[in-house]
A and B are shown apart, each in its own frame.
Chain A
Amino acid sequence: MIARLHRRDVVRELLRERGGLLVVAGLGSTAWDCTAAGDAPLTFPMWGAMGTAAMLGLGLALARPRRRVLVVTGDGEMLMGLGSLATIGAERPRNLAIAVIDNERYGETGMQETHTARGLDLAAVACSCGFRIAKQIRNKTGVAAFRAAIHASPGPVFAQIKVVPEKLPPVLPPVDGAELQQRVRRALLGRA
């Protein structure tokens, strides 16, 4: 089935009226998508450490159990940290959600196919790891339902959202890592 969703629309919808939601954006296109939706101090966009975005989400969720945490990352980044789905499934944090924006490509390096292009079902992996909700999403209704789950359903919840493979102009967040971590802490804790 051909994907019809566009990644920027999907991420804008997921982050709409986000309230106190804490966001970790995986490196590359998903960091640009989150920035295009509106850069915010409670978003931590990553520029490296590929494969660790979900674990940052877990650390944040354990540190702030009363807040909701969303990891927005790509299929290539998620594949590099597949073990973290097992770890999160074992911990079962109730306040953590992961949205994989799946274009079946390594978008920053020449649009080479990832394993999801060959049929790898990340939602099935998350399901077998113990996520309470794990869905493949291909339409706007599904995206809207997942947005509601991010804020209200007991986690961990997971969505693999199939999007059109398109090369878009990057919308860059600040790059300085120290500034990025300090701005989260200032906004969240009132100290850097």
Chain B
Amino acid sequence: MERARDWPLEVHRTLKAARVRVVGYVPDAGLTRLIALCRADRAMRSVALTTEEEGIGLAAGAWLGGARAALLMQSSGVGNCVNALGMIAECRIPLLLIVTMRGERGEFNSWQVPMGRAAGRVLREMEVKVFRAAGENAIDSCLKKTMNHAFRDGGAAALLIAQRVIGIKSFAGGSNK
């Protein structure tokens, strides 16, 4: 069996090689290591956001100024971006989203399920091209395709990373007695 790949390290390297200079994020447990790598990189300005919608504005502003941006979020955050994505479509601004999925098979928290199921469809409805990495070996190659759509073709693109890559969030130790 192939050893588990260090996908956050690969993704960080790929973003760096593509000269991504601004990274906006709302944390997800599955993004912890990637966020830490971006924050530690002095060639990237990592911006913690209060809501994912802010990231759409941040990325649009960075593009106006000539800088490439990437946004990191979990699938629930996709819903927070919707109206702002209208600007990305109308203005034809390149956009790169990296989305870790919640609400897929094995999810304990049923509140995550509706937005998790809708995230891909919602993005497509807003003219964002969706790529999906079902396993960790696919992440880096999928990211390269996603980035080509954004930075080479000037479109809006999202890479969805399946929940099985990240693992199911454990609520062990919790009690509802």
Interface residues of A (CB under 8 A from B): 22, 24, 44, 46-64, 67, 81, 83-84, 86-87, 90-91, 177-178, 180-181, 184-185, 188-189
Contacts and interface: CB of A to CB of B under 8 A. Distances in A.
Contacts, number: 125
B90 A185 contact: no
Contact of B45 (A46, A62, A84, A177): A62
A185 B65 CA distance: 7
8 contacts: A24-B61, A49-B60, A52-B84, A58-B57, A58-B58, A59-B58, A59-B63, A84-B54
Given A59-B60, A63-B65, A67-B65, 13 more contacts: A44-B64, A48-B83, A52-B53, A56-B58, A56-B60, A62-B21, A62-B47, A62-B67, A63-B61, A84-B57, A188-B64, A188-B65, A189-B66
A75 B40 CA distance: 36
B64 A83 contact: no
Contacts of B16: none
B166 interface: no
A59 B54 CA distance: 10
Contact of B61 (A59, A177, A180): A59
B138 interface: no
Contact of A49 (B21, B56, B63, B65): B56
Contact of A90 (B22, B48, B55, B91): B48
Interface string B21-41: 110000000000000000000
B90 A63 contact: no
B65 A84 contact: no
B84 A60 contact: no
B158 interface: no
A54 to B, nearest CB: 7
A62 B54 contact: no
Interface of B: 21-22, 45, 47-51, 53-67, 69, 83-84, 86-87, 90-93
Contact of A83 (B47, B50, B67): B50
Contact of B21 (A63, A84, A189): A63
A57 B45 CA distance: 15
Given A59-B57, A87-B47, A52 B64 contact: no
Contacts of B53: 51-52, 81
Nearest to B90: A177
Contacts of B93: 181
Nearest to B54: A55
Nearest to B93: A181
A53 B61 CA distance: 9
Instruction: Rank and list the top 9 A-B pairs by shortest CB-CB distance, nearest first.
Output: A59-B61, A63-B65, A55-B57, A52-B57, A83-B50, A177-B91, A63-B67, A177-B90, A56-B61
Contacts of B50: 83-84, 86-87
Given A63-B21, A91-B47, A188 B91 contact: no
Contact of A59 (B22, B48, B84, B90): B22
A164 to B, nearest CB: 29
Nearest to B22: A62
B84 to A, nearest CB: 5
A181 B63 contact: yes
A190 B90 CA distance: 22
Nearest to A178: B92
A48 B87 contact: yes
Given A49-B84, A52-B53, A58 B47 contact: yes
